[in-house]
Amino acid sequence: MQKKAMAQHKSFGRRILHIDMDAFFASVEENRKPELKGKPVVIGGMGDPSKRGVVSTANYEARKYGISSAMPLRTAYKLCPRAIFLPVDYKAYLAVSRYFKAVLLNITTIMEDVGIDEAYLDISENRDTDEKISEKIKTGIYEKTGLTCSIGIAPNKLLAKIASDMNKPDGLTIFSGEDIENRLWPLPIRKLYGIGPKTEEHLKALNIATIGQLAALPPEVLVARFGPSYGHYLHEASRGIDESPIITSWEPKSFSREITFQVDEKNWQAIARTLAELTKEVVSDLAEKGYAARNVILKIRYSDFRTVTRACSIDQAVGKEEEIRRMAFSCLKRVDLSGKKIRLVGVRVGRLEKIKNAISGV
């Protein structure tokens, strides 16, 4: 026990806050269309459950029917036919995301942006209490966006993320090093960041269902089963140990766009037109963030789900639509389309280089 407490000491010197917006896409929609309040709302694809697409998110009312993210829209419709289905309006959500991140940056600039509705802050140097900081954030976000969020505060990122999920919606959960045994260990292993369905299955075969049972396993067993890197990670994480730093900014590695056709497509012109549109969007990402690219990768998925990629690279990074489109089309020429039906087209630009003097977005 003593040894464990010492090992954890370093990790417990920090104060990390994790914030996650509540039913984000759905809340933005409810906020701008008040008539939706109190009704089950599902956001996904084109907002038409008779068409292909998956649920991006559902509001809490719709979740009562068992609707969840990544579920086909058709299944969601079967579970709750009276739900209101809306298309994804990513631009609107991104605009709101920028507003709430501006509120966070007022608290501290040591912020890690982890997605459209999530962020970590290092508040170790902030003199206010956890409650006060949380209140400032919640009020600030509510005033700027009309939305609620859930906050977790803990000695590291791993625990802060678990904490923010504990009292949704509009929650605040403060987690200290002493809470490991009582509050972390009873949780199911899937709550631990990095444990997906496959690892869960492996661990269940070892009769491990809770994080506490995982923590009780000798590390050698985990290393033998999962290799040194992931094995050690699982051992440490189950004990609430996480030294990973807040990463305040990073360079993107690539930009990509893909689309699944409503009905599988075999018309070359329609495929080419779609590719040109996707290329245009990727080029606009490049321009907005101030990058040029040295390679373009095309992805094609056939109706039987077989997927092929073709890449095209050049020495000098390019950012103009014309040039990127030419590369994308040279990839398309190398794909066998003869008489085949295509389900999905995607394009990715990579090997990015920053363009001098570019202003990058938040």
> Which positions are annotated as active-site residues?
118
Between CA 84 and CA 87, with CA 85 as vertex, the angle to 5 degrees is: 140
165 marked as binding residue: no
**Closest distance between Mg ion and the C-beta of residue 24, in Å?**
5
**Closest distance between Mg ion and the C-beta of residue 281, in Å?**
25
| Binding site partner of 29, from ligand TTP, Mg ion, none, Cβ cut-off 5-8 A by kind | none
Rounded to a whole number of angstroms, the distance between the first and last alpha carbons of the chain is 44
**Closest distance between ligand TTP and the C-beta of residue 21, in Å?**
5
Give 23 or 283: the residue with its C-beta nearer to ligand TTP. Answer: 23
**Can residue 344 be called a binding residue for Mg ion (CB under 5 A)?**
no
Token pair 């902030």: residue: 126
* Length, in residues, of the chain: 362
**Closest distance between ligand TTP and the C-beta of residue 151, in Å?**
12
Give 29 or 117: the residue with its C-beta nearer to Mg ion. Answer: 117
DSSP for 83-114 reads SEEE---HHHHHHHHHHHHHHHHHH-S-EEEE
**Can residue 30 be called a binding residue for Mg ion (CB under 5 A)?**
no
Number of H helices, E strands in the chain: 13, 12
**Can residue 29 be called a binding residue for Mg ion (CB under 5 A)?**
no
350 Rama sector, left if φ>0, alpha if ψ -120 to 50, beta otherwise: beta
SS3 state of residue 348: strand
Give 168 or 341: the residue with its C-beta nearer to ligand TTP. Answer: 168
Single out the residue of 112, 117, 122, 242 in contact with Mg ion (rule: CB under 5 A).
117
SS3 state of residue 50: coil
The contacts of residue 229 (CB under 8 Å, 6+ apart) are none
20 marked as binding residue: yes
Give 20 or 130: the residue with its C-beta nearer to Mg ion. Answer: 20
**Can residue 265 be called a binding residue for Mg ion (CB under 5 A)?**
no
Residue ranges for the binding site for Mg(2+)?
20, 117
- List of residues contacting Mg ion (CB under 5 A): 20-21, 24, 117
